[in-house]
Amino acid sequence: MLRDLVGWAADIAILLTRGCPEDRESIERVRAAAYAWLANESCPDVAIDDVLTTAAALMAGIDKSLGGTISHDEDDERRAIGAAVAA
User: Would you state the pLDDT for residue 76?
Assistant: 53
Residue 87 scores a pLDDT above 50: no
Quote the pTM value.
0.68
Query: What pLDDT does 28 receive?
Result: 94
Classify residue 67 as left (phi > 0), alpha (psi -120 to 50) or beta: left
Torsion of CA 76, 77, 82, 87, to 10 degrees: 80
CA–CA dist 33, 10 (Å, integer): 12
